[in-house]
Structure 1
Amino acid sequence: MSKLQGGCRCGAVRYTLALDALPRTYACHCRDCQTWSGSAFSQQAFLPEASLSVTGPLAVYELTTPSGRTSIQRMCAVCHARVYNSNSARPGIVVLRAGTLDRSDELDIVAHIWVKRKQPWLTLPESVPAWSEAAPVAELVQALAPR
């Protein structure tokens, strides 16, 4: 098993992933992700929490979603780059910001969610699964499954 690595922009927070290969990622086009990322979408990966080992100072921002779930955002306490989050709806799973991986240039987006909010100038490949809003969990998990 190779150790994949990543971290924040300033380098104060570093992490390793105990995974055999780079994770498959999805793009979320919701307004929250656009605001958080300052871009058209965020690129993310679902990972088992046990596969993530983090060092460095993390700041935590906790919020309650409209559905009543608790979302815990973790970011570098120095540069405030968002690194990952967890949600009470998915115990044992973390959502990694894929751009923080050292090898982020090797990632593919294999699914798109909340495309009803995508920027109009962005054209999505027809061969990649896309959902108007949140994808049904089983379908998103299937799209993200290693091939």
Structure 2
Amino acid sequence: MKVIKTLAGGLAGACVLTLTHETIRRFVPDAPRMDVLGMRAISKGMEKADVAPPSNDDKLHTWALVGDVISNSLYYSFTGTGKKAILRGAFLGVNAGLGAVYLPGPLGLGNAPSKRTPKTKAMTVGLYLLGGLTAGTVGCLWSNKK
């Protein structure tokens, strides 16, 4: 049962992160574009495997969002449950945000989507922190349930 609770917290954090990101990117010019990074990663991975990526950007965007939710759910599930889940969520969120700012360039995915301006960097870290805090809060609340 504990595994289900931690996965539920991870899923909550990933969904809040993705929904917030998708909303902000439509209204804020300096918003991070993690969806673009996801699309680039999928395309590059498929090309390396000698498979043609989807030519339709909408389909590729959907794949990127689904991949983000799945991978972030698993990552945020490490917040666990209990009194320190929120602290673990904050730690995981900040580290995911810093990774999202500083790793895409060396991975060949480009810097602009998450590192374009100081505001973009701050929003990137803030979004992942929000996801981690959400996962930790859900994990903490689940630990109080019998």
Q: TM-score, length-normalised on structure 1?
A: 0.24
Higher helix share: 2
Higher strand share: 1
Q: Which has the higher contact order (CA 8 A, sep 6+)?
A: 2
Larger radius of gyration: 2
Q: TM-score, length-normalised on structure 2?
A: 0.24
